[in-house]
Amino acid sequence: MTLSQLFVKILPFTKPYKNLIFYTLILTVIGSLAVQVNAYILKYTVDTISDLLVEGTPLVRGLYILGFISAILLAKEVVYACIQFGQKFYGEKLRIMIARDFSQAIVDRILTYRMAFYTSAENESGKLQTRIDASISSLTRLVQNFFIDILPLFANAIVALICMFLANFYVGLVGLFIVPVYFYVSQLQATKLSGFRRRMRSYRENKSNQIINLIDSIMVIKSFVREDIEAERHRSIQYDMTENQMQTRKTGFIFYSIKSFIEQIGVVIVIILTAYFVLNDQMTLGAIMFHIMLFNNVSAPIRQLHRIYDEVNDALIYSESFFDILEADDAHEQSGGYIPTTLRGEIRMQDVDFEYPNGVKALHRISMTVKPNQITALVGLSGAGKSTIINLLDKFYHPSSGQILLDGIDLREYDTDFLRRNVGLVLQRNHIFKGSIRENIRYGRVEATEEEIIDSAKKAFIHEQITELPNGYDSEAHLLSGGQQQRIAIARMFLKNPPIIFLDEPTANLDAIATEQIKKSLDAIKVGRTVVIVSHSISQIIDASHIIVMEKGRVVEDGTHDTLYQKKGTYYRIFSAMANSLNIQKITESIRG
């Protein structure tokens, strides 16, 4: 992306703040005029005092002039302080507003994206978050720099340059000459430092990643007594980082010296040139200080050019990923317009093939029927494609080929929001949001009453445990155990009360008692609904009216428990392995004994 393209893209974000920008610009111009006052006053002071010395007028007149000058300088400082405050405040306000809009725009946008966007390798949650964070802060810094730093600096430099030309053409030329030289040196500096800065960024990421990993795995580290290895690993990153930091500083200081040197040469040329004019009687003595100060007003702002280069470069790098995310039009979730009055809940998959965006072919010519108002269990070894089917049924992904029909209508034609409102999904690990237990259950139906929330907690067999907590329903949901969180998720689904329910290993993380309780709640919820359950629990599988057996992305068998068991095929093998793992013989002996 080029700088002009970047500006075109940022422009719509600045539009709502036209007035703010206008005021900032006006203040910037007034500020840059005010900055030059000192130079004029100094010239006037030197000239008047030297005249007084020549004339031999008494000190009284001198004091009168000094009083006048002080009053002007004081007034100027007061005005300038107000202008600076306004300029910085408006600039900062603009930055804060635009940062807010950038964040909101990207969040609004990604919420509409389909699942494939989130699961693609380049958008894994950590990476996506880093990209969004880095790009927003870099774009915001660009806006801030432009309005708070760059613009006033350049306005000052330009006004000072005009004043130099107005004072004397040749002096103006010296001021003008320094600009391209500084540009060149600053660009060199930015290019030289960019490699260091990029490396520094990756060192920082690695370092914080490593510390996070270290904290996460502290138990393993300690139990294997690997503290030394971890400390060594950290030390080597730290050493590389220090080395890089030193190089960055060294290069920075070298360029700083070069720039100071160039600036001092400029000052010397201005002094010599002006002294020549003074001696030649073309100028007064005050012109020397006057020109030096104007020259300083030109060089001071552009001394910071390299910082601007750095930040513009950063913004160019990061903004690309920001706008890539913002403008990923092909990532939008598709939705049809079909909204039926009622849902019967019959699902048919016809010759469905499915390939994940990363190329993994997860389903091959799947044909199956899920009958309404009964439980269908999907059975198969891990990786068989069961969760993938649930993903397709919830429209998180679309089949690569083939069709999924709900009540005879292609799933693609359904309004996606309508469909999801009528489908309940309970996963092996359900997301519990930061917040209270009440808020987490209410997520199922935002307008639910307190009684309804308690009622669904009771159905999920979690109410009593909640009331035993010191803060009851106001307790932080994150602090609950895995099994309790699972039941919060089930309570959430009870509250949603959808006609179709997909359960993906809902009891995989629960203890035996909780599993039994959940089984009871599921028995209650399944009445009169279409339920698809993926499970490794024998009791849940046996309970299903219809079992679909999957192997390596294919449906290999399908029927009731009895027929499938008799068949002595894949189901028989999986079922027998499950039963053997339970050590049924011993269990039976214990129960009998």
Residues lying near ligand ADP in the complex (CB under 6 A) = 119, 356, 358, 360, 362, 380, 382-388
Residue with Cβ nearer ligand ADP (380 or 498): 380
CA atoms within 13 A on the CB side of 280: 7
Cβ-based nearer residue to ligand ADP, 61 or 361: 361
The nearest distance, CB 237 to ligand ADP, in angstroms, is 31
386/496 with CB nearer ligand ADP = 386
* Rounded distance between C-alpha atoms, residue 382 and residue 377, angstroms: 15
Q: Which amino acid is at 22?
A: F
> Smallest distance, Å, CB 356 to ligand ADP?
3
d(CA 247, CA 234) in angstroms, rounded, equals 20
> Cβ closer to ligand ADP: 386 or 529?
386
Work out how close the CB of 381 gets to ligand ADP at its nearest, in angstroms, rounded to a whole number: 7
Q: Of the two residues 384 and 441, which places its CB atom closer to ligand ADP in the complex?
A: 384
> Which CB, 82 or 508, lies closer to ligand ADP?
508
Kindly report the number of other CB atoms within 10 A of residue 389's CB atom.
Answer: 30
Give the residue with the Cβ less far from ligand ADP, 301 or 385: 385
What whole-number distance in Å separates Cα of residue 416 and Cα of residue 115?
13
* Cα distance between residue 575 and residue 557, in whole Å: 13
Instruction: Return the H-helix or E-strand segment holding 116.
Output: helix 115-119
d(CA 175, CA 215): 56
- Return the number of the residue (68 or 113) whose C-beta is nearest ligand ADP: 113
Strands 546-551 and 554-559: antiparallel
User: Which residues, including other chains, have CB under 8 Å from residue 34's CB and lie 6 or more apart?
Assistant: 76, 79, 80, 83
Nearest distance in Å: CB 358, ligand ADP: 5
- Cα–Cα distance between 559 and 564 in angstroms, integer? 6
Strands 347-355 and 361-370: antiparallel
Please report how close the Cβ of residue 494 comes to ligand ADP at its closest, in angstroms. 24
> Closer to ligand ADP at the Cβ: 330 or 468?
330
Residue 375's contacts (CB-CB under 8 Å, 6 or more residues apart) are 526, 531, 532, 533, 543, 544, 545, 546
Calpha distance 396→116 (Å, rounded): 8
Nearer to ligand ADP, 383 or 435 (CB): 383
Residue 489 has, within 13 A of its CA and on its CB side, a CA count of 27
Phi (first) and psi of residue 347, to 5 degrees: -115, 130
Phi, psi of 272, rounded to the nearest 5 degrees: -60, -45
CB atoms within 10 A of CB 404: 21
Closest approach of ligand ADP to the CB of residue 144, in Å = 38
Question: How far apart are CB 195 and ligand ADP at their closest, in Å?
Answer: 35
Question: What is the closest distance, in whole angstroms, from the C-beta atom of residue 359 to ligand ADP in the complex?
Answer: 8
Q: At its nearest, how many Å lie between ligand ADP and the CB of residue 505? A: 8
Kindly report the CA angle at 209 between 206 and 212, in degrees rounded to 5? 150
Which CB sits closer to ligand ADP, 119 or 465? 119
Nearer to ligand ADP, 383 or 569 (CB): 383
Q: Give the containing element (helix H, strand E) for 136.
A: helix 125-144
Supply the minimum distance, in Å, between the C-beta of residue 468 and ligand ADP.
35
SS (H, E, C) 360-425: CEEEEEEEEEECCCCEEEEEECCCCCHHHHHHHHCCCCCCCEEEEEECCEEHHHECHHHHHHCEEE
Residue 101's contacts (CB-CB under 8 Å, 6 or more residues apart) are: 13, 16
The least distance separating ligand ADP from the CB of residue 471, rounded to whole angstroms, comes to 37
DSSP annotation of 335 reads -
Comparing CB distances to ligand ADP, the nearer of 160 and 379 is 379
